[in-house]
Amino acid sequence: MNESNTTSVRNQASTAIKSLFDASVVPSYRRFNLVFSHGAGSYLWDVTGKRYLDLGAGIAVCCLGHAHPEIAEALAEQASKLIHISNLYYHETQGRLAQALVNLIGPGKCFFCNSGAEANEGLFKLARKFGHDEGRFEILTATNSFHGRTLAGIAATGQEKVKQGFEPAMPGFRHVPFNDLEAARNALSPATAAIMIEGIQGEGGITPATPEYLLGLRRLCDEKKLLLLMDEVQCGHFRSGRFQSFQRLLEGTPGGDQFLPDGISMAKSLAGGVPMGAFWVRLPHADILGAGTHASTFGGTPLVCAVALRVLQVIEREHLADNARTEGEFFKTELQKLAQRYPAVIKSVRGVGLMLGIELATGLPAFAGSDQTASVQFVNQLHAAGLLAILAGSQVVRFLPPLNLKRNEIAEGLKILETIVAQVSP
Ligand SMILES: *Cc1c(COP(=O)(O)O)cnc(C)c1O
């Protein structure tokens, strides 16, 4: 078969796969027109054989890149020993993983589940139980936040678009402006039990919490006997250069190294692509969820815990927290230079470590005359040029690459990015 025949066969394969989705998959996702078959490291290949540099990593999930040999090995080894036993019994890997997470965060205990939304649900239940005997149940969250797609998750999320059509909202959530301590203080009611924020808002457009906000919320929660909960599902797991984003954001701030929230939710990168969620609860509150109060059948299986432990080993051995810090710094500096060369296209550059975003200017003529947002059109052009990035809202394009991203891969991404930025520049 000659080359053009091969391509046309592959295009047919792509069409056939999409028609399976049209026929049999609930259309709840607005998917891009890309069909992938395999990956390696920071690259993905679609069914036509085209290669893409993946700076989205499955939305901050594939923290060691695609098809990492040690993840494959940990999966195979553990699968041939023990995959699942349920939480009716003990097994070593869950205990060891909990210990490792506690060592990375601070004195406390962990609960294991399967996703970010489920981890947040656990923290919401923790807050309700914490406030229960005093009749307190309310949780304040931030405008533009994202906390998952369950009913409590969408009630907690500070974005109207996720709530629409699913009313009535679960009671007990109110939103306050992010990075505004006074707004949080003023919004408290006698029923308030907790405040939950992301360390760096992800879906909301890559907005880090300020050190003053974090320390101020800690003091406020101590003063009013509230739980301070942090959703580190996207910004956690070394993406910022430290295990949790608040550890990085508070570096160099007096008192910053004493800071701990009362609960932390984790998921996305936790097991490098194998589904896993978890939450950590600070010691004085770690036994609030006693026997029989909370559960998840698949939570913390031997299989997923073995993978999560291996992911932690690789990150430590290869100094990937440092890599996220130094390569993130390089990437961000280069993005800022690009923004200086094309101020009419890039309005701002945001983020920390390998959680970066560019904010596109509004009203770009190149994006006029389409009902799609600027971010969708921009990302589509990046795709055509062989680069995967992720949009956040109508104006922001995010980069959430693997933590082992290499300098030459960043350079390759920047080159593609500059081509597209120049193309849409007025
Ligand atoms: C992705 C995300 C969630 C939801 O995680 P799922 O695994 O999709 O349920 C919650 N919070 C934040 C900050 C996220 O980025």
Identity (one letter) of the amino acid at 42? S
How many Å apart are CA 174 and CA 158, to the nearest integer? 8
* Tens-binned pLDDT, residue by residue, of the chain (426 aa): 566 677 777 788 899 999 999 999 999 999 999 999 999 999 999 999 999 999 999 999 999 999 999 999 999 999 999 999 999 999 999 999 999 999 999 999 999 999 999 999 999 999 999 999 999 999 999 999 999 999 999 999 999 999 999 999 999 999 999 999 999 999 999 999 999 999 999 999 999 999 999 999 999 999 999 999 999 999 999 999 999 999 999 999 999 999 999 999 999 999 999 999 999 999 999 999 999 999 999 999 999 999 999 999 999 999 999 999 999 999 999 999 999 999 999 999 999 999 999 999 999 999 999 999 999 999 999 999 999 999 999 999 999 999 999 999 999 999 999 999 999 999
DSSP for 42-67, please give it: TEEEETTS-EEEESSHHHHT-TT-BT
Q: Which atom of ligand 1 is closest in space to residue 145's alpha carbon?
A: 13
Q: Domain check: are 223 and 347 in the same one?
A: no
> How do residues 290-314 score in pLDDT, each as one tens digit?
999 999 999 999 999 999 999 999 9
Domain match, 242 and 370 both: no
Distance 410 CA to ligand 1 centre (A): 26
Residues 241 and 229 in one domain: yes
Ligand 1 contact via 117 beta carbon (within 6 Å) = yes
Residue 206 and residue 110 share a domain: yes
The pLDDT assigned to 26 comes to 98
- For residue 63, CA distances in Å to 16, 183, 228, 368 come to 31, 35, 27, 36
- Do 283 and 386 belong together in one domain? no
Q: In whole numbers, what is the pLDDT of the chain averaged over residues? A: 97
pLDDT given at position 135: 98
Indicate whether residue 199 lines ligand 1 (CB < 6 A). no
In a domain, 19, yes or no: no
373 is in which domain, residue-wise? Answer: 32-61+320-424
**Which of 326, 305, 398 has its CA nearest to residue 359?**
398
Ligand 1 and 146: CB distance under 6 A? yes
- The answer to whether position 3 is within a domain reads no
φ/ψ of residue 420, rounded to 5: -70, -40
Q: What share of the chain is helix, strand, coil (3-state, %, to 5)?
A: 40, 20, 40
Question: Is the minimum distance from the CB of 158 to ligand 1 under 6 angstroms?
Answer: no
Is the residue at 242 inside a domain? yes
The last residue of one of the domains, among 265, 297, 317, is 317
Q: Is residue 222 part of a domain?
A: yes
Assess contact for 280 and 116: CB atoms under 8 A.
no
Q: Which of 254, 285, 317 is the last residue of a domain?
A: 317
Cα of 366 vs centre of ligand 1, distance in Å, is 32
| CATH assignment of the domain containing 351 | 3.90.1150.10
The conformation of residue 18, written as its DSSP 8-state character, comes to H
Gap from CA of 264 to ligand 1 centroid (Å): 13
132 and 249 part of one domain: yes
- Per-residue pLDDT of 318-371, as tens digits, reads 999 999 999 999 999 999 999 999 999 999 999 999 999 999 999 999 999 999
Residue 236: which CATH number? 3.40.640.10
The CB density around residue 391, as the number of other CB atoms within 10 Å, is 24
CA distance 164 to 185: 28
What distance in angstroms lies between residue 195's CA and the mean position of ligand 1's atoms? Answer: 17
186 in the same domain as 44: no
Residue with tokens 């994202």: 146
Rounded Cα–Cα distance for residues 46 and 33 (Å):
10
β-strands 263-266, 277-282 pairing: antiparallel
Structural domain ending residue among the three candidates 298, 317, 336: 317
Cα distances from 14 to residues 49, 147, 388, in angstroms, run 11, 33, 18
Same domain, 157 and 284: yes
Contact (Cβ atoms closer than 8 angstroms) between residue 196 and residue 139: yes
Rounded to the nearest angstrom, the distance between the alpha carbon of 116 and the centre of ligand 1 is 4
pLDDT confidence of residue 3? 62
48, part of any domain: yes
| pLDDT score of 11 | 83
Bridge pairing between strands 36-40 and 43-46: antiparallel
Residue 207 lies in a domain: yes
- Domain count for the chain, please give it: 2
Shared-domain flag, residues 248 and 389: no
Considering the domain architecture, whether residues 43 and 99 belong to the same structural domain is answered as no
**CA gap 249, 154 in Å, rounded:** 27
> Would you say residue 313 lies in a domain?
yes
**Residue among 139, 125, 263 at smallest CA distance from 195:** 139
Alpha-carbon span 92 to 96, nearest angstrom: 6
Q: How far apart are CA 406 and CA 55, in angstroms?
A: 11
First to last CA, the chain: 44
Distance 162 CA to ligand 1 centre (A): 13
Pocket test for ligand 1, best of 198, 230, 234, 239 (most atoms within 8 A of CB): 234
Query: Looking at the domain assignment, is residue 162 inside a domain?
Result: yes
The answer on 305 and 251 residing in a single domain is yes
56-78 core/surface letters (b: 16 or more CB in 10 A; e: else): bbbebbbbbbbebeebeebbeeb
The verdict on 367 and 273 lying in the same domain is no
Atom from ligand 1 closest to the CA of residue 201: 13
